[in-house]
Amino acid sequence: MAKQLDETLTMLKELTDAKGIPGNEREVREVMKKYIAPYADEITSDSLGSLIAKKVGKEGGPKIMVAGHLDEVGFMVTQIDDKGFLRFQTVGGWWGQVMLAQRVTIVTRKGDVTGIIGSKPPHVLSAEARKKPIEIKDMFIDIGASSREEAQEWGVRPGDMVVPYFEFTVMNNEKMLLAKAWDNRIGCAIAIDVLKQLKDADHPNEVYGVGAVQEEVGLRGAKTATYKIQPDIGFAVDVGIAGDTPGITEKEAMSKMGKGPQVVVYDASMVAHKGLRDFVTDVADELNIPYQFESIPGGGTDAGSIHLTHNGVPALAITIATRYIHSHAAMLHRDDYENAVKLIVEVIKRLDRETVDKITFE
């Protein structure tokens, strides 16, 4: 029997079920807007489509930006062949071995069309070819059409987004949540809940909960949103690597699910701001909020764009250890999500002008 979803799980389900690859985030933005609007004083967006929800604690106080990104990795239709099969482009980073035989949804102007990613069957490959993974360029999407004309009648056109299909699932261990697009709907959920926790709280600043667009193709929306906000401090909230599955050594990835949010000290897009990193971890230590240090030399977050805007913005990425990111389904731990919200809220309450200046200029 399906488990009853509480208020938070219902929000997480709606966020992850929503379809939105880079450049196609409207559906996700509407879900985030619905949930964050009750806690915001005003909601605007930049011209690329990033959502910006503002909550004022003290007028003229430091501007604090908490940014998740709306987009998920997916695909885009590039061609329809004469037999009705679709050629496609990956949008965001994919590893070919997680793609074959997976169900997808093509979002067209006439409605959604179901497809499956296919390739030549192994039965007709040479023994040598069978030993090698199928390259993405040799894959196609089968929507059950018999011709190009039939696919076009169903509304399929080049440029249409293609999204992994997966149902939000609460595991037997109810803290473990399985869904598509945790990267990065969990960041959007954190931004929503930070504003929710601050709704009636006394805090000395102006907080901006952001759903940025186009992170997966180069941290793009965070750049334009940061220009619009001009924050004093920036937090990117995203997923990180969980190093607790078989075969991963601690040297490769140390973090474990359920052991607290990750404070990213280094990634390919940014060296963490030392003053902000120390301030955040000091608050966590004071309040006994668990956290883990993480470095991700092969990835980046929106903090990479945030910290390079205007004169520079002290920034930090706070992430959730997540298994199987950039695939059809990923898994995370509810405690890490809730502790990330708690940590960011407590940090924001302490970020008055004097503290922000000390962090920035020490």
Domains (range + CATH), the chain: 7-72+180-361 (3.40.630.10), 75-164 (2.40.30.40)
> Measuring CA to CA, which residue among 241, 224, 238, 257 is closest to residue 334?
257
Q: Name the pairing type of β-strands 42-45 and 51-56.
A: antiparallel
Amino acid (1-letter code) at residue 255: S
pLDDT tens-digit profile of 231-259? 999 999 999 999 999 999 888 888 999 99
Split at pLDDT 50, 70, 90, the class of 1 is very low
Both tokens of 165, joined, read 């299909």
CA distance 272 to 231: 16
**CA pair distance 193, 173, nearest whole angstrom:** 23
For a pLDDT cut of 90, what percent of the chain falls above it? Answer: 90
- pTM for the model stands at 0.96
Write the pLDDT tens digit of every residue in 262-304: 999 999 999 999 999 999 999 999 999 999 999 988 889 999 9
Average pLDDT of the residues of the chain: 96
Q: Which residues are catalytic?
A: 215
Beta bridge partners of 91: 74
Any idea which of 191-195, 252-256, 320-324 has the lowest mean pLDDT?
Answer: 252-256
Radius of gyration of the chain, Cα coordinates, nearest whole angstrom? 21
